[in-house]
Amino acid sequence: MLTDQTIFLTTSTLLIFLGLFAIFYSRNLLKTIISFQIVVFGANLALFSSGLGEGPNLMANTLVLFSIVVGGSVEAVGLALIVLVHKQYGTLDPWEIRRLRH
Amino acid sequence: MANEVALLLSAALLLTVIAALFSKSMSVTVIMLFYASLILGIIFTIFQGVLVGLLHIVTFAGAISVLLLTVVLMTGESNLNIGNRPLGAVLGTVTILVVSASSYSLFSGLSNRAVSSSESTIGLLTFVWTYRPWDLLILIVVFAAAMITIVNLFSEKE
């Protein structure tokens, strides 16, 4: 039987795989950060859906809260690093940045 | 009923994420990511996680979207235009009107009046406009949407 938990777990798996695929194949650091955000979305949805059932599950909700805070902080730091990299090298292409370093 | 809601929201979330990841334009990516954050927050809110949903929307659809938009503008990675200025003007006007109506409803105390009355529990819209956390949620969402629309509308194409 198709339950809400199954639907959300499938969606979260798809989100995580889409995000990982985009991280590996992206040629832009901004897209990498955005893909990381999508992986965080998938993880949050998986944590939340694991607590779905009879009534609210406080453990799952607390873990999602932690995940939101950590994910947001990591993304903010990543965006700051992107601004620094763009100021230093003038591009956001990782291969171009590697070529310019040598 | 709940299954249909879950399916619909999951499909919308996946569509927005795919549009964000595979779009050529960075502005479309940022806007689609914003809507994906909103949909995920709505999923949390509907399925008994109101606090988690609100925090998710405030963090990702609010703060992170603004940061992302700032970085995109600073690095010049985007040609910010939505292609159709009349459509943008209509969207901007509608969002500003909804912001005004929502602010009036939130701060004038109208939203307290019919929570327990039986005639207003039929439609989803009535529920949304009479239950106070939903009112605040809509206010946050529409403020952010108005911000992105207006930034898009007044940005020059590079």
- A contact test, residue of B8, B64, B74, B78 with most A CBs within 10 A: B64
Range of the domain at A49: 4-101
Q: State which of A47-51, B49-53, B87-91, B127-131 shows the largest mean pLDDT.
A: A47-51
Q: Which residues of B touch A34 (CB under 8 A)?
A: 20-21, 29, 33, 68
- pLDDT tens digit sequence for A20-40: 999 988 888 999 999 999 999
* Residue A21 three-state SS: helix
CA angle B81, B82, B84 (to 5 degrees): 115
C-alpha distances in angstroms, A27 versus A24, A31, A62, B14?
9, 8, 35, 22
Task: Calculate how close chain A gets to B21, using CA atoms only, in Å.
Answer: 7
Q: Which residues of B touch A4 (CB under 8 A)?
A: 2-3, 6, 47
- B contact test, residue of A27, A29, A75 with most B CBs within 10 A: A75
pLDDT of residue B158: 46
pLDDT of residue A34: 93
Tell me the pTM: 0.73
ipTM comes to: 0.91
* Residue B108 three-state SS: coil
- pLDDT tens digit sequence for B4-40: 888 888 998 999 999 889 888 787 888 889 889 988 9
Contacting A with CB below 8 Å, chain B residues are: 2-3, 6-7, 10, 13-14, 17-18, 20-21, 26, 29, 33, 36-37, 40, 43-44, 47-49, 51-52, 55-56, 59-60, 63-64, 67-68, 71-72, 74-75, 77
CATH code where residue A72 lies: 1.10.287.3510
pLDDT of residue A11: 94
Put simply, the answer to whether A15 touches B7 (Cβ < 8 Å) is no
When divided into structural domains, chain A yields a total of 1
CA angle B27, B28, B32 (to 5 degrees): 120
pLDDT of residue B18: 92
Which band of pLDDT confidence, cut at 50, 70 and 90, is reported for residue B122? very low
- Count of CB atoms within 10 A of residue B111's CB? 20
